[in-house]
Amino acid sequence: MIFSKEYVGYLARQTVKGLEAAKVIRTDKPARLIEKVQEGLIDELSLEDRINDEVRVILGAFQDDMVKTGASYPEMFKKVKNELARKYKAVL
């Protein structure tokens, strides 16, 4: 993830604060709402990390074939990552 968890917590607090100030939302439990927003942000921001891990597993399974055919690992990484991003409908 490109952001620290502390910064994501700050973003969650600011988001909830801004939505409350604009009267878009109303809550009796702001701490719980902030926690849920933070969980959602972390989940979305760590999606690329999870995709990268999956790409490494896939390419690891085909490593011998890639060596035999002379395929470039960085090029294959990009191609597989793009395919997985499309599959998960992720914007990276």
pLDDT in tens, 46-73: 999 999 999 999 999 999 999 999 999 9
> What does the alpha-carbon distance between residue 35 and residue 29 come to, in Å, rounded to a whole number?
10
pLDDT at residue 42, as a whole number: 95
- How far is residue 84 from each of residues 32, 54, 61, 68, measured CA to CA in Å? 33, 9, 16, 24
Residue position matching structure tokens 């604060």: 17
pLDDT digits (tens, 9 = 90+) for 4-58: 999 999 999 999 999 999 999 999 999 999 999 999 999 998 999 999 999 999 9
pLDDT of residue 2 exceeding 90, the answer is: no
The residue ranges of every structural domain in the chain are 5-45, 47-87
**Tokens (6 digits) for 19:** 């939505």
Q: Mean pLDDT over all residues of the chain?
A: 94
Query: Quick check: 1 pLDDT over 90?
Result: no
